[in-house]
């Protein structure tokens, strides 16, 4: 037989004890069914089990491969003590899955057991992870061993990612950094903006733009961009791509890094590191010239700056330990004849 959802003829705000009703919280009963007393001392409804569902879920929306999570609430009354209760997806191979936890154990079915009072109350979590674009529907059935209760219908709509990345790499070539990337698919793609940074904590800035070769494609499409190193000759450079849709929406690629060589003929050493009040910057150079030294904290804020005239040979500069008031991660920046070098260090 089919059980109908509990639609109360009378709403009594009560809790039920052996002595009768005392007001606390809402409890719905059907006036056509007599109340009996359970072994545990609680008055329960006689007759058929009743099922109540509070389904506040809206249609699911997600991009292909992404996740959307919602939940609904159920109450089941008048079950036999420890009676089993099954929740089952009608399309177990589809993009929907269910669980009693919001973070684990998702599958196509759930088995619950009633309490000794014949009651089940639970939130049911529904996860939507589409693998294809378009609309999806499924039904969640609720039943006991002998009866089927009201079902919950779920709907989902999946949109394709504008670009599905295949690869993105960066490597140093003669006098330049070569960026190469490929897309597996593109949908309404306008162009890519190439961004670089010497320190991602300080953000990125645009250095170039590459137009899409195929605004809509389902095949592998390769791209490249070359950045001359006339202004970047030492340290580490970080790159990312900003993919921009025809309608102006955008998303970022992963970040890749390139390690550049140090100064030609110049050696810089920071010792000891982690730093103490006796840490020195050791410099060895085959020529003389101006040297700028900066210390910045991990947020990019300038802590200390000084200019020096260095000469051919070896020399050392004592770092201002007292100008770094807090323990943490810092970066030492040196600029010698327009060539910048970076070295991270720790102040204990």
Q: Are 237 and 243 in contact (CB under 8 A)?
A: no
Q: What single string gives the DSSP state of each residue in 212-276? A: -S-SSBSS-EEEEEEEE-SS--SEEEEEEEEEEETTS-EEE---EEEEEP--TT-EEEEESSSB-
How many angstroms separate the CA atoms of 113 and 80, rounded? Answer: 10
Q: Which of 46, 50, 54 is nearest to 6 (CA)?
A: 50
Say whether 203 sits in a helix, a strand or coil: coil
Residue 336 CB-density burial (10 A; 0-12 exposed, 13-18 middle, 19+ buried)? buried
pLDDT of residue 233: 58
pLDDT at residue number 318: 86
Q: What distance in Å separates the CA atoms of residue 155 and residue 134, rounded to the nearest whole number?
A: 11
Query: What local confidence, expressed as pLDDT, does residue 19 receive?
Result: 35
Whole-number pLDDT of residue 113: 92
Q: Which of 4, 7, 33 is nearest to 142 (CA)?
A: 4
**Residue 261: both structure tokens together:** 């060589």
Q: Which residue has the tokens 């190193």?
A: 229
Q: Calculate the CA 223 to chain-centre distance.
A: 27
- 136, 130 Cβ separation under 8 angstroms: yes
What is the torsional sign of CA 71, 75, 142, 9?
negative
346 φ/ψ sector (left φ>0, alpha ψ -120 to 50, else beta): beta
**Distance of alpha carbon 223 from alpha carbon 345, whole angstroms:** 36
- Number of DSSP helices (H) and strands (E) in the chain, helices first: 0, 28
User: What tens digit of pLDDT does each residue of 9-61 get?
Assistant: 333 333 333 333 333 333 333 322 333 333 333 334 456 778 889 998 999 99
Using CA atoms, how far apart are residues 301 and 306, in angstroms rounded to an integer?
A: 15
Q: What is the pLDDT of residue 91?
A: 80
pLDDT score, position 72: 95
Which pLDDT score, from 0 to 100, does residue 12 have?
A: 31
pLDDT of amino acid 321: 82
Torsion of CA 44, 45, 46, 49, to 10 degrees: -110
Q: What is the pLDDT of residue 49?
A: 79
Profile the chain (348 residues) by mean pLDDT over runs of 10 residues: 38 34 34 34 54 90 87 91 92 88 92 91 94 89 84 88 86 88 88 88 89 87 90 74 89 84 66 82 78 86 86 84 83 77 81
Q: 225, 169 in Cβ contact below 8 A?
A: no
Kindly report, residue by residue over 86-112, the tens digit of the pLDDT: 999 988 778 999 999 998 899 999 999
- Collect all residues with Cβ–Cβ distance below 8 Å to 245 and sequence separation of at least 6: 162, 188, 189, 190
328-336 and 313-318 as β-strands: parallel, antiparallel, unpaired? unpaired
Does a cis peptide bond (omega within 30 degrees of 0) precede residue 347?
Answer: no
């Amino acid at each position: 037989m089919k059980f109908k959802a509990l639609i109360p003829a009378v709403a009594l705000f009560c809790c039920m004890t052996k002595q009768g009703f005392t007001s606390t919280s809402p409890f719905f009963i059907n006036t056509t069914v007599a109340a009996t007393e359970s072994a545990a001392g609680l008055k329960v409804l006689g007759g058929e089990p009743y099922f109540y569902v509070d389904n506040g879920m809206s249609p699911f929306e997600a991009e292909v491969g992404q996740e959307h999570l919602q939940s609904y609430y159920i109450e089941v009354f008048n079950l036999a003590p420890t009676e089993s209760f099954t929740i089952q997806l009608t399309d177990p191979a589809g993009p929907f899955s269910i669980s009693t936890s919001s973070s684990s154990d998702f599958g196509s079915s759930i088995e619950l057991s009633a309490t000794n009072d014949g009651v089940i109350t639970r939130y049911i979590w529904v996860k939507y992870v589409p693998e294809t674009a378009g609309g999806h529907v499924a039904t969640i059935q609720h039943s006991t061993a002998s009866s089927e209760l009201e079902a919950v219908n779920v709907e989902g709509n999946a949109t394709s990612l504008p670009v599905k990345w295949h690869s993105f790499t960066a490597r140093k070539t003669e006098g330049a950094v070569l960026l190469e990337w490929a897309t597996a698919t593109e949908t309404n793609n306008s162009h890519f903006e190439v961004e670089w940074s010497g320190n991602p904590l300080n953000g990125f800035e645009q250095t170039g733009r590459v137009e899409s070769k195929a605004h809509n494609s389902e095949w592998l499409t390769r791209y490249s961009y070359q950045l001359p190193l006339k202004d970047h000759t030492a340290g580490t450079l970080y790159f990312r791509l900003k993919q921009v849709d025809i309608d102006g929406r955008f998303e970022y690629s992963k970040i890749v890094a390139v390690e550049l060589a140090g100064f030609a003929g110049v050696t810089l050493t920071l010792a000891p590191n982690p730093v103490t009040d006796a840490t020195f910057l050791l410099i060895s150079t085959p020529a003389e010239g101006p040297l700028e030294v900066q210390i910045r904290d991990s947020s990019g804020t300038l802590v200390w700056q000084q200019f020096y005239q260095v000469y051919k040979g070896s020399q050392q500069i004592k770092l201002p330990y007292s100008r770094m008031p807090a323990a943490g991660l810092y970066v030492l920046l040196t600029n010698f004849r327009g060539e910048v070098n970076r070295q991270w260090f720790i102040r204990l």
